[in-house]
Amino acid sequence: MTNGKRQQKKEITRRAIVSAAVDLFSRNGYEKTSIEDLAKAAGIGKSTVYTYFKAKEEIFLAFCDEEFEYSFTALRDRVDAEAPLIEQLHALFMSQYEFVTSNREFGRILIRETLFPETVTSLAKESNQRYLDALGEILTHAKARGEIRPELDNFFLSAHFFMLYLGALSGFYTGYVTTTEDVGSGLRTLLNQALQGIAL
């Protein structure tokens, strides 16, 4: 038990913090939950939280991991792999959209932190990478079916589609569109543009 015990305890405390976050963020929202609240709920002192997380945002990302963990990949597996690419993408993104906006604040903060983080940290990048990888698989499959141009790079393709999804999401957050249907049809329009090409 030389060092293992210490590690084990750390893991437990860490979980306690995340667990407190899941509870309190869900119940009272992110902004309304103070670090001290989390500490108290986790049964530790305020500044001990900072031994586990560099900043509040980082706790938020851990919270999202916990809450959204399987969402994307699980959704991807549920989507019919033989459907036309646009249908797969649309279904995938719309599920993700509904999930992310189930709590308006969370989606907003998640996007902010992962796409435009304050400091370049591996965390945000890692989070994005999961999305891009999941998309990449779908695209590889679509290439194999001969549905899309095989010479295009998966990374840029994934990024492209993801940004279109983000556009639809931003439309929601800025108030351009308010209903899920409108978000869906807007997204479809954008995906179509990308697939069919904009040039004559």
- Point out which residues bind a copy of itself (CB under 8 A): 85, 108, 111-112, 114-118, 120, 124-125, 128, 146-149, 152-153, 156-157, 159-160, 162-164, 166-167, 170-171, 173-176, 186, 189-190, 193-200
State the nearest-atom distance from the C-beta of 53 to a copy of itself, in Å.
Answer: 19
- How far apart (Å, rounded) are the C-alpha atoms in residues 78 and 197? 28
Contact 191, 161 (CB under 8 A): yes
- How far apart (Å, rounded) are the C-alpha atoms in residues 193 and 188? 9
- How far apart (Å, rounded) are the C-alpha atoms in residues 173 and 162? 16
In the complex with a copy of itself, the residue whose CB is nearer, 16 or 148, is 148
Interface ranges with DNA (CB under 7 A): 1-6, 9-10, 13, 31-36, 44-48, 50-51, 54-57
- How far apart (Å, rounded) are the C-alpha atoms in residues 45 and 42? 9
Closest by Cα among 47, 23, 22, 24 to 36: 47
In the complex with a copy of itself, the residue whose CB is nearer, 24 or 124, is 124
In the complex with a copy of itself, the residue whose CB is nearer, 75 or 159, is 159
48 binds, among a copy of itself, DNA, none (CB under 5 to 8 A by kind): DNA
